[in-house]
C-alpha cells in the first residue's frame, strides 16, 4: 500500500483553499492508502507567532480536520515526533543554498524585508522534505503552491542517496487536484487565499457559520460584466474565475458545465447559489468543529496517540539515515 504524508500549519483555522487543495483529498486517500496527516507546528514558528495562539490553533485545526472526516488515528503534531527535527537537520546539510534561493514561497513571504525574516523561513523546504521522507512516504497530496517544494524534496532525496551511495530515500509524487488547486482570495483574485491574509473577508474558514459564509460570498469582489458562456470570457477576470472554480470544485463539476448553467446571468443569482452550496457542505463541518473544540482532552488524546504511531513508523527510518551519515549509536 502506498504511504501518503501531508501537513497543514496550525497558523489559523483552515480555510476553503486548504479544504479544496488538500483536506478533501486526504479524506478520500485515507480509504485505500497508509496515511499520516500532520499539524506542522514547527513550520508555524517560521513567521512571528504567539505561544498561546499556537496552542489554541493546533487544537482548533485538529478539531477542523476531525470534523472534515480525517481518521483520528492518522493525525498528530509535528513537534511531538523527533524524527522531523533530526532528519530536518541532516537535510539542512544536504540541501544547497542555490536550490533554496529559487524558492518562490520564501520570496513571496519574505518580500522586500528578507533580512529581517527568520532563518527558519529560509530552510522551511528542507524540513518539509524531512517531514515526508522520515516516513518514506511516496505520495503527497498538496495544493499547487507546494509543487516547487516537492521538487526540492526529490532533489534532496536524490543527493542524499548519491552522496551516501545508497538507494534509501524514495522519489515523491505530488498529488495536486486537477481543479481548485489554488483557491484565490475573495478580496483579490491575484492573491492566494491564505490564513495569514490580514483581511478575514478574504477567506472562508472551516468554522464559519452559515451567515458568515453567505456574507463573505455576498461581499466577494467581482466585476460589472455578466457571467460568460465560455472559459475564454474569464480572461482578465480573476475574481469571477475564482468563484466559478470554487463552485465547480464544490459540486464536482467542470468549469464548462458551470458556465453553461450561469451564462449571461449577473453575480447576484450566482453568488446566492454558491453560498448555498458552500453552506450545505461546510456548515456541518463547522458545527462539528465547534463541538469538538469543547472537548480539549479528547483532542489532546488524539494527538498523543497519533504521535505514538508516527514515532513507530519514522524511528527506524531516521535511525538508519543517521547511521548512514556516520552518527554513532
Ligand atoms: N489557497 C489555496 N488553494 C489551494 N490549496 C491551498 N493550500 C494552502 N492554501 C491554498 C494547501 O493547503 C495545505 C496546507 O497549507 P499550509 O497551511 O501548510 O500552508 P500554506 O500553503 O502556507 O497555507 P496558508 O493558508 O497560506 O498559510 P499561511 O498563511 O500560514 O502561510 C497545503 O497542501 C497547501 O498547498
In this structure, which topology does domain 3-181+296-325 adopt according to CATH? Rossmann fold (3.40.50)
CB atoms within 10 A of CB 298: 14
Whole-number pLDDT of residue 187: 97
Percent of the residues in the chain that have a pLDDT greater than 90, as a whole number = 94
Single out the catalytic residue among 107, 159, 195, 323. 195
On whether the CB atoms of residues 16 and 247 are closer than 8 A, the answer is: no
Whole-number pLDDT of residue 196: 87
Contact 204 CB / ligand 1 (< 6 Å): no
Query: Is 200-291 CATH 3.30.300.30?
Result: no
Q: What is the pLDDT of residues 1-29, one digit of tens each?
A: 899 999 999 998 999 999 999 999 999 99
Single out the catalytic residue among 159, 191, 192, 216. 192
In the three-class reduction of DSSP (H, G, I as helix; E, B as strand; rest coil), residue 49 is classed as coil
Residues (pLDDT < 70) of the chain are none
Whole-number pLDDT of residue 235: 95
Distance CA 41, CA 142 (A): 17
Whole-number pLDDT of residue 329: 84
| DSSP per-residue letters across 124-150 | HHHHHHHHHHTTT--EEE--GGGHHHH
Whole-number pLDDT of residue 28: 96
Fold identical between 3-181+296-325 and 200-291? no
Reference 123, options 46, 195, 38, 44; nearest CA is 46
Ordered by start, the domain boundaries in the chain are 3-181+296-325, 200-291
On whether the CB atoms of residues 21 and 181 are closer than 8 A, the answer is: yes
Is residue 195 among the annotated active site residues? yes
Q: Which atom of ligand 1 is nearest to the CA of 146?
A: 35
Contact 149 CB / ligand 1 (< 6 Å): no
| DSSP per-residue letters across 7-54 | EE--SSS-BHHHIIIIIHHHHHHTTTSEEEEEE-TTGGGGS---HHHH
CA distance to 9, 41, 182, per residue, from 34 (Å) = 21, 22, 26
CB atoms within 10 A of CB 102: 12
Query: Binding site annotation covers 189?
Result: no
Distance CA 169, CA 158 (A): 7
Q: What does the angle CA 125 – CA 126 – CA 130 come to, to the nearest 5 degrees?
A: 115
Strand order through the sheet with 75-77: 75-77, 34-39, 3-8, 139-141, 173-175
Q: What is the pLDDT of residues 235-279, one digit of tens each?
A: 999 999 999 999 999 999 999 999 999 999 999 999 999 999 999
Whole-number pLDDT of residue 179: 84
Q: Which atom of ligand 1 is nearest to the CA of 197?
A: 29
Distance of CA 70 to the CA centre of its chain: 14
Amino acid at each position: 500500500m502506498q504511504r501518503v504524508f501531508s501537513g497543514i500549519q496550525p497558523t489559523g483555522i483552515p480555510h476553503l483553499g486548504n479544504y479544496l487543495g488538500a483536506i478533501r483529498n486526504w479524506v478520500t486517500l485515507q480509504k485505500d492508502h497508509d496515511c499520516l496527516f500532520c499539524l506542522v507546528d514547527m513550520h508555524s514558528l517560521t513567521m512571528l507567532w504567539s505561544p498561546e495562539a499556537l496552542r489554541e490553533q493546533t487544537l482548533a485545526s485538529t478539531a477542523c480536520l476531525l470534523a472534515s472526516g480525517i481518521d483520528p488515528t492518522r493525525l498528530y503534531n509535528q513537534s511531538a515526533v523527533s524524527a522531523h527535527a533530526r532528519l530536518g537537520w541532516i537535510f539542512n546539510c544536504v540541501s544547497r543554498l542555490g536550490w533554496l534561493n529559487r524558492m518562490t514561497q520564501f520570496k513571496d513571504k519574505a518580500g522586500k524585508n528578507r533580512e529581517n525574516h527568520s532563518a527558519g523561513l529560509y530552510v522551511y523546504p528542507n524540513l518539509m522534505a524531512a517531514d515526508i521522507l522520515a516516513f518514506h512516504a511516496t505520495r503527497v497530496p498538496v495544493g499547487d503552491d507546494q509543487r516547487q517544494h516537492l521538487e526540492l524534496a526529490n532533489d534532496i532525496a536524490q543527493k542524499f542517496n548519491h552522496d551516501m551511495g545508497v538507494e534509501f530515500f524514495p522519489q515523491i509524487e505530488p498529488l495536486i487536484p486537477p481543479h481548485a488547486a489554488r483557491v484565490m482570495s475573495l478580496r483579490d483574485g491575484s492573491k492566494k487565499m491564505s490564513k495569514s491574509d490580514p483581511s478575514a473577508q478574504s477567506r472562508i474558514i472551516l468554522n464559519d457559520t452559515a451567515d458568515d459564509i453567505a456574507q463573505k460570498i455576498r461581499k466577494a469582489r467581482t466585476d460589472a460584466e455578466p457571467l460568460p458562456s465560455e472559459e475564454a470570457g474569464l480572461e482578465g477576470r480573476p475574481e469571477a474565475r475564482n468563484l466559478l472554480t470554487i463552485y465547480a470544485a464544490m459540486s464536482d463539476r467542470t468549469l464548462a458545465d458551470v458556465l453553461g448553467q450561469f451564462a449571461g446571468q449577473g453575480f447576484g443569482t450566482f453568488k446566492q447559489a454558491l453560498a448555498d452550496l458552500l453552506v450545505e457542505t461546510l456548515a456541518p463541518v463547522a458545527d462539528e468543529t465547534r463541538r469538538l473544540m469543547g472537548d480539549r482532552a479528547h483532542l489532546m488524546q488524539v494527538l498523543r496517540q497519533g504521535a505514538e504511531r508516527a514515532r513507530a513508523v519514522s524511528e527506524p527510518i531516521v535511525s538508519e539515515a543517521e547511521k548512514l551519515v556516520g552518527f554513532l549509536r
